[in-house]
Structure 1
Amino acid sequence: MGTEGGNVRVIGGRYRLEARIGRGGMGVVWRADDTLLGRQVAVKELGVDETLSHDEQRQQRERMLREARAVAQLRHPNIIVVHDVIRDEQHPYIVMELISGGSLADRIARDGPVDAVEAARIGLSLLDALRVAHAAGVLHRDLKPANVLLEAGTGRVVLTDFGIAQVEGATTLTETGGFVGSPEYTAPERMAGERAGAGADLWSLGALLCTALAGESPFRRDSLGGILHAVVYDEIRPPAAAEPIAPVILGLLEREPARRLRLDQAERLLRAYVATGATPQPAVPQAPYTPTRPDVPTVPRKGRSTRVLLVTAALVAGVAGAGIATAALLAQRDDNSPPGPASSASESSRAPSASPSGSASPAPTVTVTRTAPTPSGTPSGTTPAGYRTVTDAKGFSLRVPDGFTRSLDGPRVFYMSPGNTFRLGIKVAADAGDGPGAAQRQAAEDGPKNNPGYRDGSVVDTLHKGHTAALWEFTWNGFSKDEGARRTVDLCWEQDGRLYDVWVSAPVGRAGEARGYFDTAVDSFVPSAHK
């Protein structure tokens, strides 16, 4: 991989890997020299599951790069800066700022627990970071002391290692049945294999604060099964040192997501403690965890206890050497309801959108199976629960959520949720010769004309299944006050002389859920004929 110079590798034609400084489940982290800009950086070499087929590995790499680019759009002092996302000899890499200083885990191991004031300071910094990530529909999914850096000299708190981050709607289990995240910091709803929202990251923050104050996680046990049982069932007892901010910790460690402390509530309580030194008191009764931006909510699920036991058994069996892949099947919801009704809205001429005026029932849990297209022109593999495979007369096949209905607008095809809250759009056209990058940049230039309140637009050149592609993302205001702010994600790629364009549009507060629909549609898309 890369250019070899003695024992030194150079990737991307500019990053010289100098020393390995970390290793985790998602890859290896290197200290590197950016020879173009003359600066030190950190380079994360993402690992790929070698047990997958060649096509599945390729799709996994593309998914990693796509999600890494989403994280690269995040800008906040408490979030690691991503300088570059590259592929070198088919291996994906993330180039990040190099933080001088160790992790919170290192500090605890070296100096012991922190006091309540320092824990509150760290907690506030992480809440600021999560607010930005969640507003963009990005969940961290592995918030723990080892992934929190403390910059030497400044004390800046930096949330890093978004290596397993995904958009809202991901489950705890990977496509091959593996466990995603660190069990001691994983929320109960994710243990149950449920579709988890921003509240799962807040649970992890509560566990992290306990660890910072006590020196170890409150859910540490001698076995994986013991950890899973502790997270889901055991009485939660914060350490005595946590008493000054106990209402925050207990609120974050509320097992039922609907009753869990919201991000804004936790921030208000911690700021009150830092300002006064007095233990903050939450409002009584505690406000429910409801859909308010920037939080992305989770919804209570039925039958959690049974599913947790099944998932626990499968995971423990996997550790013992038995087939863990069955966990993905055991974790599926038993109420695969589609998104609920909402008000309809009109579309822009380039990236369609619609917005709800009311609530919606939870989207179904999706266990996406990455498979290569079959020669017949339809997606291969088992269609995930809550989805169906459609073969469209416009010349393509893909998977769409149950309950989405088809409509036409000139050359564009839409698959829309009830009430048009979510819209999947597809357009197939001849390539005029400029390619997807030029097409997307022209569309972005026309964004203010076609999309009221157009902002935060970005176009990134990328690859899709080996084809030249460009990803366009932006926020806008919708066509009426009732719609509210919306987020659109649009991938365009060239294949066999044609441009294929797939996009999704949704309310900003549900951008993560929409991204799940988008990823499934893009990953399963197969051209069937030229129409």
Structure 2
Amino acid sequence: MLLRERYWAQRILGQGGFGRTFLAVDEDKPSKPFCVIKQLLPQAQGTENIAKAETLFAQEAEQLEQLGHHPQIPELLAYFTDNGQQYLVQEFVDGATLAQELAENGVFSEQQIRELLIDLLGILDFVHSKNVIHRDVKPDNIIRRSSNQKLVLVDFGAAKVLQQVQRTVTGTIIGAAEYCAPEQAMGKAKFASDLYSLGVTCLHLLTRMSPFDLYDSNEMEWVWRDFLSGNSISDELGQILDHLIQQASNKRARSAQDVLQLLQPARTGAHPSQISQTILSEPETQQSLVQSQPSQIPARYQRLATLLKAGDWRSADAATAKQMLVVANRTEEGWLNPE
């Protein structure tokens, strides 16, 4: 399939109830880079269902265009209709999803979860600043880019622009049920709904269990610690995760930036007690976080510190090389020059 005499579809990457996704080549560019073509092909019957599918498809293109170019969000390249069918072309992200990483490498460690949170919270902070709610944060929609190991948030097909007049209006119920915040399940998604989904994503990566199994509906409480199976998680991180997955949205953090400050108090110059008081509403949660002393090592270097402490010099050497490229902003090139 050749679209607009430019985008050459190579193979199908996936197919679902709303359409197909192709790996394609952009023939107009000298380097012939890969890109992704999304074709709207709704399987749902009925005029209303098809119209809704078309609306969501157009909405994804609008969200990607509104978000502009962000290194951790796929760039929109084109959106058009060809022979009566809608197509969306976006940047191809070469890498594995966190769901694939979990299947191949097993449960995530505390350090991996901290790094994940810092990366994803930064993306969500940007997305929310544009008044957009993603509404479908889950392991399948987070890809680790092979070239620089940075996480990329994909699939904005469920995303929604939150207008001032919509804040109390019931909207479409959308998103994966396992990761969906209670208020979102009632059609009233808000920024805190994405934070909830991110917290639940972390629980799944820590335990490899379905989020449904990590919540005791009889006692109406999360029991994720019962499924850690020896995976050591500090009280400090545990309290942060507990805060993200509060059932009541007004008991969660107010913004992604607030949680980032809690994870990186050393960078903000604020004392942990000051941060916890601005973010948390429950006194017992505040107290436990105040008593926890955060590591003085920046999160991005903690894996390297662990490798050095363990005497794993080969892995430490590789990790050092990667961090040098990040600091010098040369991850795309993969090498340093004298300057």
Calculate the TM-score normalised by the size of structure 2.
Answer: 0.69
Kept after mapping to 2: 8 A contact 1:208/1:217: no
The one-letter code matched in structure 2 to 1:247 is Q
Q: Equivalent residue of 1:44, what SS?
A: strand
User: 2: CA distance between counterparts of 1:60 and 1:103?
Assistant: 25
1:200-252: CA deviations, max 9, x gaps?
Answer: 1110000011112222343248xxxxx8x84x963112334473211211110
Deviations 1:141-185 (A, max 9, x none): 1100000001114211000011121223598974xxxx6211110
Deviation at 1:39, TM superposition (A): 1.6
Determine the C-alpha separation between the residues in 2 that align with 1:235 and 1:124: 26
Q: Is the 8 A contact 1:144 1:204 kept in 2?
A: yes
Write the mapping of 1:156-305 to structure 2, written as runs, cut at 5 A.
Answer: 156-168=150-162, 169=166, 174=172, 180-191=174-185, 193-220=186-213, 230=217, 234-239=220-225, 240=228, 241=231, 243-244=233-234, 245-262=237-254, 263-272=256-265, 283-284=276-277, 286-287=279-280
Distance 1:68 1:83, change over 3 A: same
Aligned ranges 1:514-529 → 2 under 5 Å: none
Cα distance change on mapping 1:148 and 1:233 into 2, 3 Å:
farther
Structure with bigger gyration radius: 1
**1:488-507 alignment, distance < 5 Å:** none
Give 1:103 shift: 0.4
Q: Which residue of structure 2 aligns with residue 350 of structure 1?
A: none
* Residue number in structure 2 paired with 1:101: 95
Work out the CA distance in 2 between the residues paired with 1:172 and 1:101.
36
Whole-angstrom distance in 2 between the partners of 1:46 and 1:157 = 26
Q: Which runs of no fewer than 5 residues in structure 1 stay unpaired? A: 1-8, 222-226, 290-531
> Does the 8 Å contact 1:69/1:85 carry over to 2?
no
Equivalent in the alignment of 1:43:
37
Do the aligned partners of residues 215 and 66 (structure 1) sit closer, same or farther apart at CA in structure 2, a change above 3 Å counting?
A: closer
* 1:33-81 Cα shifts (integer Å, max 9, x gaps): 112222210112234354222x874575255314422322313222122
SS at match of 1:243: coil
Matches within 5 A, 1:378-527: none
Aligned residues: 265
Report % sequence identity.
26
What is the CA–CA distance in structure 1 between the aligned matches of 2:219 and 2:135, rounded to whole Å? 21
| Distance in 2, Cα, partners of 1:97 & 1:136 | 20
Return the TM-score normalized by structure 1. 0.45
Q: Runs of 5+ in structure 2 lacking a partner?
A: 283-339
Q: Deviations over 1:114-158 (max 9, x none)?
A: 211111111111111111211112111110000000111421100
Instruction: Supply the AA of the counterpart residue of 1:64.
Output: F
* Partner Cα distance (1:242, 1:211) in 2: 15
One-letter identity of the residue aligned with 2:221: E
Shift of 1:25: 4.8
Q: Cα distance 1:46–1:247, how it changes in 2: closer, same or farther (>3 A)?
A: farther
- Alignment RMSD, CA only? 3.2
Q: Return the alpha-carbon distance in structure 2 between the equivalents of residues 208 and 242 of structure 1.
A: 17
Q: 2:86: which partner in 1?
A: 92
Change over 3 Å in CA distance of 1:282–1:49 after alignment to 2: farther
More strand by share: 1
Q: Could you tell me which residue of structure 2 aligns to residue 391 of structure 1?
A: none
Seen in structure 2, the aligned counterparts of structure 1 residues 50 and 90 have a Cα distance that, compared at 3 Å, is farther
Does the 8 Å contact 1:270/1:280 carry over to 2?
Answer: no
